[in-house]
Amino acid sequence: MAEHQKSSDRKRSWAEPYKIKMVEPVRITTREERETALSEAGYNTFLLKSNDVYIDLLTDSGTSAMSDRQWAGMMMGDEAYAGSRNFYHLEDAVRKYYGYKHLVPTHQGRAAEHMISQILISQGDIIPGNMYFTTTKLHQELAGGTFVDIIIDEAHDPADLHSFKGNVDLDKLEDLITEHGPDKIPYVSIATTVNMAGGQPISLKNLKELRKLCDHHNIMIVHDMTRVAENAYMIQKNEKEYSDWSVSDIVVEICNQTDAATMSAKKDALVNIGGFLAVNDDEIFDKARNMVVVYEGLHTYGGMAGRDMEALAIGITESVDYDHIRARVGQVQYLGEKLIDAGIPVVKPIGTHGVFLDAKAFLPHLNQDQLPAQSLAGAIYLDSGVRAMERGVVSAGRNPETGEHNYPKLELVRLTIPRRVYTQAHMDVVAESIEAVYANREQITGLKFVYEPEYLRFFQSRFERL
């Protein structure tokens, strides 16, 4: 049956397209135990021990359940230092499913971001993008560049119902090109989907218009393809022109609009570790292939074991399978709809990898200096042992010039759903916990920093209750 025929039976329930063959027990803690754990973690959910967590919605990164085929692939690891056959399987998969010509494996996404930033960015350059991501922006800055957000305004409004809040505002880009000149803009940085906006997709129409504009000015497009299959699924669902395309064909069409890609394979591609840089240009490939031996390892393994590359090659094929991606995004939408029905303020439309609580609307009695999203993540953990992630002022860091906090418009708590790990019953427990916290929201107090590291402060900062 064609994919679009399957998607026409929307009114029928769906269930996970897999059954469970191995289980991992999780620990249910008491409120008292959670109070101690959170205070020992400095009110930072990144510093909790996973043993103290019941349902872990910190991230969808590296937390997927691999399939039996992937585990079988792990047994076929060729751990040769050079020329592992698993590298060639991975190279074939990247060419076939994404369409890029050259592959440089890395241990995870940020290593690819580091290399492409160092290769393409010169001191004083401007890198426009559809909203920042923490590690992407940091590597652009470390290479001497300045990131400028050119996402459409709708993306900064949690209540706006635009179906493609990941779209680029082409006028903003044209203004930047006029102001700085195309020579100061080595590339446009495009993510599918946009994590910090709430897991929001970009449309192919917008991406194709962007391609035209970039071609006109001879500017490259670098694609953060971390969640490209999820983006492709949303295109199939909501962009009429592509409703009868397969998700797999849409993925290739997206990649075809771009010149190079960084991949954190720990998300879409269903592995616990891995990533890569993919490029079409031979010269950039040469530079990256040389650079990877300095930072990661030989160019036929990057930071990965042979078995990891095999699991990734198989994970890529599974990630574009229609039944998989429909259930994956469907589970996120299920939780989101439940919270919307309960009147909880969330980013709308519901994104593809998690549900994002609007902490400003949830806790209107706290101002941004009192770190509402960080406080809310702590309150949720205390209620039920569900771990979420702050995506607000703490994540946004400081302005490197003034040293002041960056104050993002979006002050969010992300409930991120790992792939193929939790059941619908887990989602129900999460929804009930959020409802309970919402009912008692007035009692939630703010936090202040007591320790703050220099880079990516959200990972290791410590806080105290105000």
Which residues contribute to the site for ligand P71 (CB under 6 A)?
59, 61, 108-110, 133-136, 191, 195, 224, 226, 264, 266, 275
147 counts as catalytic: no
Tokens of 4: 């679009």
Please, which residue, 177 or 220, has the CB nearer to ligand P71? 220
Catalytic residue among 362, 438, 458, 463: 458
Tokens of 90: 């991975």
Give the strands of the sheet with 102-106, arranged side by side: 102-106, 275-279, 260-264, 220-224, 187-191, 126-129, 146-149
- Dmax over CA atoms of the chain, in Å, equals 61
281 counts as catalytic: no
81 counts as catalytic: yes
Other CB atoms closer than 10 Å to residue 433's CB: what's the count?
22
Please provide residue 150's backbone torsions phi and psi, each rounded to the nearest 5 degrees: -120, 25
Please, which residue, 195 or 236, has the CB nearer to ligand P71? 195
Catalytic residue among 134, 226, 262, 300: 134
Catalytic residue among 43, 133, 233, 362: 133
45 counts as catalytic: no
Angle at 265 between CA 259 and CA 271, to 5 degrees: 160
Q: Which amino acid is at 445?
A: T
Q: Is the peptide bond before 193 cis (omega within 30 degrees of 0)?
A: yes
User: Which residue, 164, 161, 222, 159, is CA-closest to 193?
Assistant: 164
Tokens of 314: 């198989």
Please, which residue, 267 or 360, has the CB nearer to ligand P71? 267
Q: How far is the CB of 212 from ligand P71 (least distance, A)?
A: 24
Q: Determine contact, residues 336/322, Cβ cutoff 8 Å.
A: no
391 counts as catalytic: yes
Catalytic residue among 6, 18, 68, 81: 81
Please, which residue, 391 or 426, has the CB nearer to ligand P71? 391
Q: How far is the CB of 193 from ligand P71 (least distance, A)?
A: 8
How many Å apart are CA 352 and CA 233, to the nearest integer?
A: 9
Q: Determine contact, residues 185/126, Cβ cutoff 8 Å.
A: yes
How many Å apart are CA 216 and CA 212, to the nearest integer?
A: 6
Q: How far is the CB of 235 from ligand P71 (least distance, A)?
A: 17
Please, which residue, 109 or 145, has the CB nearer to ligand P71? 109
Please, which residue, 177 or 267, has the CB nearer to ligand P71? 267
Residue, CB closest to ligand P71: 109
Q: How far is the CB of 191 from ligand P71 (least distance, A)?
A: 5
268 counts as catalytic: no
Q: How far is the CB of 6 from ligand P71 (least distance, A)?
A: 28
Catalytic residue among 266, 267, 420, 457: 267
106 counts as catalytic: no
Q: How far is the CB of 108 from ligand P71 (least distance, A)?
A: 3
Q: For 260, left (φ over 0), alpha (ψ -120 to 50), or beta?
A: beta
Residues noted as catalytic: 81, 133-134, 224, 267, 391, 458
